[in-house]
Every structure is written in C-alpha cells, then in structure tokens.
Structure 1
Amino acid sequence: VTFGYPNNQPLMKGLSFTAEPGTTVAFVGTSGCGKSTILRLLYRFYEVQSGQILVDGQDIKRLKVASLRRHMGVVPQDTVLFNDTIEYNVKYGKVDATSEEVQQAVQQAALADAVAQMPRGLDTIVGERGLKLSGGEKQRVALARVLLKKPRILMCDEATSALDSTTEASIMQALYSVRQKDTTTLVIAHRLSTIQSADQIIVLDGGGCVEQGTHCELLARQGVYYTLWNTQRKMESHHGEKDAGSANATNATA
C-alpha cells in the first residue's frame, strides 16, 4: 500500500503485512510514522493511492463503507459517552443485545467491579462525555461496547494513552483475555510494555515495515524495536525515580 496526505511526502511506500484471524497485531514506531493512518485506511476514512487492502480476500474498495464498518469495532483514544445509563452506553455497540449479553461484555471488559459500586449499577446515569467516570472506567465502557458487538476486526488506536500505566495494563489485559478465534485485533499502544503479549508486532519506519515478529524475537534482533523498548524503559524508570523523590520530599516536609 502507498499513501500520503495532500501536499506531503508519501507516508507509506509499499507497506505490506498480513493479520490472521484470531490474532493480535500491534503497530509501533516513532510519532508520525503512520500507525494511526493504517487504521484510518482500513476504516476507509481515506483511500489508498496504490495497492490494495484485502479483508477475507476482498478489496475493501469493492465493499460498501457501511457494510465494511459493520464488521469493525473501534476503541478510540477519547471515548464519548451519552447522557444516559451505563447499559445504554454499552448497548450502543449492539442495540438489540440482551441483558445477559451486556453483563458478559461488562465482565469481559473488567468493568463489573466498578459498576457494582455505582448507585444503580448498570442503570446509573453518566454525564455527557463521561464526566462522572474516571478515564479508566470510560475506556472500559468503550471496550465493553466493542466486545458486545463482536466485530471481525477490533481496532484500538492509542485507546489507553491518557491513562496511568497500571490502568492501561489492566485494560489491555482485559482485551487480550477475550481474544476470539474469528476476531483480528489491531492495536496501537502508548506504552510498549502493554503489547508484549501481541502475536505479531510490526515496526514502522520510513514508510514501510522494517521489523516484524513477537516481542522476544524483536528484542533478540537488537534493531529498531530493541532501541524503542530500551528508550521507553529508561524514560519510565527516570519518571519513577522522580515520583519517588517527590514522595520522599513530601514525607520529609510533613
């Protein structure tokens, strides 16, 4: 696939990869390398300039957009919730879902404990844009919504980037735990530590795929992914030391 935004250099130059059903594929690379663009092309927000994107062997250009998107589910970075009940917000993914199906999706998304503590459970009203919920709870609602839909292709576009590392890890673990044999999951994660369990990691650079493999395979090659991994680990370690230092200073002052 080749693609570039108007008045810019091509962002992708002959990019090619295969994502098998029942697997999780993660995309990594530096900012601006085209990770999110892959998902936008698949969702047909944009059309490829050359090449093909095939789903079950069919060129997506030959499919009606509505028909294509009916088989897709997206967990976005910024989840919008309706001024209605938790159940209504989850059922937006499948309006004719039964109560049992909603409960199952809530459980799969690791949202059940939070719902149990709410005043009216699934009947609790949440404010517009989810102002009454934490960031982690909002993203779990979004995940439950998508899991209820049971899409053939599930896409997470940095859906947890605004969350703390612990919350992000728990949500990604929930996502990995409910992988289904017919669902292909495509993930763009903020922290590389959350994609270690991906079946395939695709490293993007210079408009194409420069490395491809599992987490362990890519670390063993000591290439681009290895460098990204170590850089991020050092940054996280540095931030952890700063946080610990701030806490110690606060305790000493107290």
Structure 2
Amino acid sequence: MSFKQIRIALLLIILVLVVHHQFNDKARVASWANPLFISIYPVNAEGDELSQRYIERLDERDFEEIERFIEREGARYGLGLDRPVYVQLGNAIKESPPAPPVGGNFLQRASWIARMRWWRWRFDNQGMDPDVIVLARYFEPTGNRRLPHSTGVEQIRIAIANLFASKSMRGENLVVLAHEILHTIGATDKYDLSSGLPIYPGGFAEPERTPLFPQRIAEIMAGRIPVDESRARQAQSLQQVIVGPETAAEIGWKVATAPALE
C-alpha cells in the first residue's frame, strides 16, 4: 500500500471508531439506566468586575433547581430514577471554545463541531469526567442588552449558555441552562426561529387547553409562555416550565400520551 492509501485507511478507521462511540454514547444516554452527570463551568464572558464577583459567590446550591426540575418531570413520565441528573459546579475557566457560526451553512456548522470536538478533548474537566459539559458565560446586565444566542450540541454533549450575572435573573438563567442541557441529550427547539414564538402543538405546555390562550406555563424547549397568537412572555423560573411529550420522546422518556398537569 502507498502512503496515501495507508493515510486514507487510518482516517476511515478513526471515522468508524468515532461513529461507533457516538452511537453507543447516544444509546447509553437515551436508556436512562443510570443518572447523568452534568458539570457547569462559569466563564466571565467580558472580564468585568461585576460578573467576576457574581461568579465567585456561586455554589452548587444555585443549580439544584435544575436537578429538581428534571426529577419532577421525569417522574411525570414514569422515569425509574430517583435522581436522574447530578449537577456539579466546577471552578471558573478563562478559555472559551470557538464561537458557533451565526446563520452558518451545514459545512460551517460541521467545521465548528469538529473544532469543538478538539476543544473538548483538550479541555481540563477538573477531574469530574461529566456526561455533559456546560459553559455558563456570565455577562454584566446593563440596560436592555440582548445576549448572544445560547447553544447545546448533542454530538459532543456541550452546552454554551449566555447568562446575566444578576440574582434577579437567576430564574431565567436556570431556564436557559435546562433548555441547553436538554439539547445535548437530543431535544430540539420548539419555537419559531424568526419570531421566537412557541410552535403549536409541540411548543405548548397545554396544547389541548380551552381556550388555547393564554397558556399558564411554558414548554422547556420553547421557553416562553404563549399569551395570544402573536405574543409570548419569557418563563421566569423552572416552576413555570414543563417537559412536553415531544421533548420527552426525543430525550428517551418513552410515552404514548402526555401525563396530566396538576
């Protein structure tokens, strides 16, 4: 065999191994046979003092509501785990991964995911070896600023959540974190990308409610509570959010119909 043929053969072997590992990992996560371990690593996105002070005061109790949310929703779908996820808080990090392409095409996104795989392979997880890595990027809450779009990638189980360094925004931050975490285990968005409005019926927590509007709570992968056909308001906490049946099926919670809400 020529050197070129050997190189191609090695690349094909590596590709097969990567696909095999990814398939097995996806099946393992979707089975929910064991709890998932999620590690959150804070990042001072702009290096400002306010965000730094906020990050220094964080502890794991600030994220326990994510555990309770997934435990509560899993129980509604008959999940046989008392504690489906464990959320751990790592030390703050300075190195951010490559930024995702804004409105990129398939090749640009594939290239970004490849670079993210390399970043994760090199990443110091501080000895926690999590199933899901969450980078919580905190920004100073000034004026009515809009944060960059958060993202969660199933193929590499990394979530990048852009959050406000503010106690008053803690509830909304937890909704964003839970949304992106569920992306990493297979959930898809349930809102219209152009308008931000929840898509009916999957993005509605109560699609059979009469009258349909206003809804009382939000579906986690929509993140907003529909007020009428053209308006929706942001869920303020995980107490205002549920996992709908479409999302439940995507993450491996086997259901035929949605359980009744209390």
Both structures adopt the same fold (TM-score exceeding 0.5): no
TM range (shorter): under 0.3
TM-score by length of 1: 0.28
Task: Choose between structure 1 and 2 for higher RCO, CA contacts under 8 A separated by at least 6 residues.
Answer: 1
